[in-house]
């Protein structure tokens, strides 16, 4: 029998809850990662905790999208939620980083499946014109999760344990399971077809190395390194094999012929370029707020809320407009042109001295422009898909968007590094290197004051005669060469030990030692005159007082110089990050321009017609 309105409504509640958990897990872990690394060790595997989830969620969204076309959608959705909750429970129980990475990958399998199934279920339950309303709500969920995730992760980590970042999924997931199990109809396919295992294997074989190459290129390994080039080569060869296999399979994992449909092809291309524009706007804003505007990490989360609010309002509002008018092309054109103008405005207007309120206002407008496309492109892509390819087609749009996001963020991260390097080169014309940016969460923050505090502590110890501290400073790329040359061997005590040895010999009648002391630039004229009197006790006491005074003066001079250097480098970093962000916004505008081209080619049609749920 067909699904009743009550069953549809309550099923969507369960799907909403599951999708919220999957979206939340993309951000909630970031604030817990420092505590996780501190307890489980293995800081060198830091990035893999996020990468494993990203990889599996991207790949398995397509695989589960196809499974919804072969088996009962209810059964597939229940498996997706169960896998996600199992991965969450095991992640909370992880005893080392290897286990956590493995279980996060399992969690990503369920998360990717939830992404695909959520949008597919909309297409099954609702006619095209009504899908925009629900898709807009899904976009709002993503915006809300991006704002709530880091805050909730920090709250749970500070007051309970980092393990509760994963355990929190269990009660909410159980409620989602109950709604789906109790109210969702089976939604079985009209006919069964064999699953394309070869296509799934080849999809993994080209997607994983491609995403790894863009995730680690330019950071873990240079772009031209054998590791990155090897990953690209493997991805290229496997992609060719995948296309060859899919074109020849009678029931492929993904039917490539759907790219012949203009609405699907053009929507997919637009989604590919929208992905990096969206992440380019979001991923680097906390860096600008924290380093350039001096906002704390917790405050920056609040400051980015207007962007999130803009995305939520844009998604929901765009979905309502789409449902009321049924016209998708004017909505997409208007929001894309608005977004293009905003990215260009940010490129030309954003400065180090831009008032915080002005920056926040621009971020809100940016979110408002980003929101509508998040919901509308999926709806447009589904418009002409045959019913037996709704699942794989919908998940492929999400897959293409994720691939575009990964590639775009890698490019924009390189832009950031390049501008920072140029700024440091200007701040250190003598050739000192950039220093060590610290990786924090899933973004980057430059702990310059902490870096200079470390240098100051080492330098003061070296002045006091700590030879290990002196060796560490000489090997430190952050310390300018002039400062290294000014660092005496043995510190100030080492210099005065030489003077004390000469003084002992001079007072014993050694004229050569006496002449050396009289030539020393360290001894003031009054002390040299005292040496001429031959009063050993007074001279040695005055020499001891001079050593104490020289050490205090050297420390004060170093502290003053480092404070000057801190201000100089902070200015260079602020300029570098601002210029980098302006360049990133310009690249984002270019991505939006590329997305605009396929949108212009979209047919201007009125969404209509219904797709009733299949019988249970």
pLDDT at 614 over 80: no
- Whole-angstrom CA distances from 73 to 126, 222, 573 are 15, 44, 52
- Both tokens of residue 258? 């759907």
In the chain, domain spans: 1-191, 196-252, 448-570
pLDDT at 304 over 70: no
Range with top average pLDDT, 67-76, 77-86, 138-147, 543-552: 77-86
For residue 85, which of 199, 200, 166, 202 has the smallest C-alpha distance?
166
* Pairing, β 438-440 against β 443-445: antiparallel
What confidence category does residue 234 fall into, taking pLDDT thresholds of 50, 70 and 90?
very high
The pLDDT score that the predictor gives to residue 435 is 40
For residue 211, which of 402, 376, 442 has the smallest C-alpha distance?
402
- Both tokens of residue 419? 């501008």
Provide mean pLDDT across the span 73-80. 85
Provide mean pLDDT across the span 188-199. 80
Query: Can you state the angle between helices 390-427 and 262-283, rounded to 10 degrees?
Result: 30
Strand, coil or helix: what is 329? helix
Range in 42-56, 108-122, 587-601 the model is least confident about: 42-56
pLDDT at 441 over 90: no
What are the tens digits of pLDDT across the range 471-529? 777 776 666 666 677 677 777 787 778 778 877 887 777 788 888 878 888 778 887 78
d(C-alpha 571, C-alpha 552), whole Å: 29
* Residues contacting 264, CB < 8 A, separation 6+: 258, 381, 383, 384, 385, 393, 397
Provide mean pLDDT across the span 280-297. 68
Work out the percent of the chain whose per-residue pLDDT is above 90: 6
What are the tens digits of pLDDT across the range 397-431? 888 888 888 787 777 777 777 776 676 666 554 44
What are the tens digits of pLDDT across the range 544-568? 888 888 778 877 877 777 777 767 7
Provide mean pLDDT across the span 319-340. 86
**Residue 207 or 162, more confident:** 207
Angle at 404 between CA 123 and CA 592, to 5 degrees: 90
pLDDT at 233 over 90: yes
**Residue 585 or 489, more confident:** 585
What sign has the CA pseudo-torsion 231, 233, 235, 238? negative
E runs forming strands in 36-89: none
Provide mean pLDDT across the span 606-614. 53
The answer as to CATH 1.20.1250.20 being correct for domain 1-191 is: yes
Provide mean pLDDT across the span 68-91. 86
Mean pLDDT, the chain, integer: 78
Provide mean pLDDT across the span 192-199. 84
Work out the percent of the chain whose per-residue pLDDT is above 70: 84
The pLDDT score that the predictor gives to residue 443 is 34
Query: Can you state the angle between helices 390-427 and 356-382, rounded to 10 degrees?
Result: 150
d(C-alpha 133, C-alpha 122), whole Å: 10
Range with top average pLDDT, 122-136, 322-336, 442-456: 322-336
pLDDT at 541 over 70: yes
What are the tens digits of pLDDT across the range 348-393? 988 888 887 888 888 888 888 887 877 788 888 888 888 778 888 8
The pLDDT score that the predictor gives to residue 597 is 92
pLDDT at 250 over 80: yes
CB atoms within 10 A of CB 544: 12
- Whole-angstrom CA distances from 526 to 155, 298, 501, 545 are 64, 57, 19, 13
What sign has the CA pseudo-torsion 550, 555, 556, 562? positive
The pLDDT score that the predictor gives to residue 405 is 80
Provide mean pLDDT across the span 268-292. 77
What are the tens digits of pLDDT across the range 23-68? 777 777 766 766 777 677 665 666 677 778 888 888 888 888 888 8
d(C-alpha 304, C-alpha 151), whole Å: 12
Q: Are 21 and 144 in contact (CB under 8 A)?
A: no
pLDDT at 21 over 50: yes
What confidence category does residue 3 fall into, taking pLDDT thresholds of 50, 70 and 90?
low
For residue 434, which of 478, 500, 377 has the smallest C-alpha distance?
478
What confidence category does residue 303 fall into, taking pLDDT thresholds of 50, 70 and 90?
low
**Residue 599 or 118, more confident:** 599
């Amino acid at each position: 029998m067909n699904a009743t309105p009550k069953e549809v409504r309550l099923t969507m509640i369960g799907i909403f809850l599951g999708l919220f958990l999957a979206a939340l897990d993309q951000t909630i872990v970031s604030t817990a990662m420092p505590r996780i690394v501190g307890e489980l060790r293995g800081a060198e595997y830091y990035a893999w905790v996020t990468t494993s989830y990203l990889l599996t969620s991207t790949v398995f969204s397509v695989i589960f999208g196809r499974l919804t076309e072969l088996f009962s959608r209810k059964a597939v959705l229940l498996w997706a939620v169960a896998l996600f909750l199992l991965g969450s429970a095991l992640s909370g129980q992880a005893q080392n980083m290897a286990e956590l990475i493995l279980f996060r990958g399992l969690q990503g399998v369920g998360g990717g499946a939830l992404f695909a199934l959520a949008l597919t279920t909309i297409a099954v339950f609702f006619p095209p014109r009504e899908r925009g309303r629900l898709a807009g709500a899904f976009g709002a969920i993503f915006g809300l999760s991006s704002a709530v995730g880091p805050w909730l992760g920090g709250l749970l980590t500070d007051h309970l344990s980092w393990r509760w970042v994963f355990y929190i999924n269990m009660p909410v997931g159980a409620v989602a399971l109950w709604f789906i199990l109790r109210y969702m109809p089976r939604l079985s396919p009209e006919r069964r077809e064999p699953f394309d295992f070869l296509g799934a294997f080849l999809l993994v074989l080209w997607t994983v190395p491609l995403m790894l190459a863009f995730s680690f290129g330019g950071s873990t390994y240079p772009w031209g390194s054998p590791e990155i080039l090897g990953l690209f080569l493997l991805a290229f060869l496997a992609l060719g094999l995948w296309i060859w296999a899919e074109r020849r399979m009678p029931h492929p994992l993904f039917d490539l012929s759907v790219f012949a449909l203009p609405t699907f092809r053009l929507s997919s291309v637009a989604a590919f370029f929208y992905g990096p524009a969206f992440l380019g706007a979001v991923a680097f804003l906390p860096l600008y707020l924290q380093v350039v505007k001096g906002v704390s990490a917790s405050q920056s989360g609040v400051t980015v809320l207007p962007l999130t609010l803009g995305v939520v309002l844009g998604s929901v509002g765009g979905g309502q407009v789409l449902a009321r008018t049924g016209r998708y092309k004017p909505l997409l054109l208007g929001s894309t042109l608005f977004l293009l103008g905003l990215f260009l405005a940010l490129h030309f207007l954003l400065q180090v001295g831009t008032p915080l309120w002005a920056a926040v206002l621009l971020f809100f407008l940016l979110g408002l422009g980003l929101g509508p496309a998040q919901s509308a492109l999926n709806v447009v892509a589904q418009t002409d898909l045959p019913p037996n390819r709704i699942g794989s087609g919908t998940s492929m749009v999400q897959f293409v968007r994720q691939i575009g996001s990964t590639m775009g963020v890698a490019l924009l991260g390189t832009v950031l590094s390049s501008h920072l390097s140029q700024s440091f080169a200007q701040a250190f014309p003598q050739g000192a290197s950039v220093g060590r940016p610290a990786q924090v969460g899933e973004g980057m923050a430059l702990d310059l004051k902490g870096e200079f505090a470390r240098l100051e502590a080492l330098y003061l110890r070296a002045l006091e005669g700590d030879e290990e501290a002196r060796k560490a400073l000489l090997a430190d790329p952050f310390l300018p060469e002039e400062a290294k040359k000014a660092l005496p061997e043995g510190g100030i005590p080492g210099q005065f030990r030489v003077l004390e040895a000469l003084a002992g010999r001079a007072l014993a009648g050694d004229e050569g030692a006496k002449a050396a002391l009289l030539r020393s630039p360290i001894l003031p004229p009054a002390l040299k005159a005292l040496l001429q009197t031959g009063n050993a006790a007074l001279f040695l006491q005055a020499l001891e007082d001079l050593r104490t005074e020289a050490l205090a003066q050297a420390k004060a001079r170093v502290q003053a110089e480092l404070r000057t250097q801190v201000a100089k480098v902070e200015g260079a970093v602020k300029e570098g990050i601002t210029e980098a962000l302006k360049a990133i916004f310009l690249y984002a505008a270019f991505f939006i321009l590329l997305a605009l081209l396929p949108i212009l080619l979209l047919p201007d049609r009125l969404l209509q017609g219904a797709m009733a749920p299949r019988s249970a």
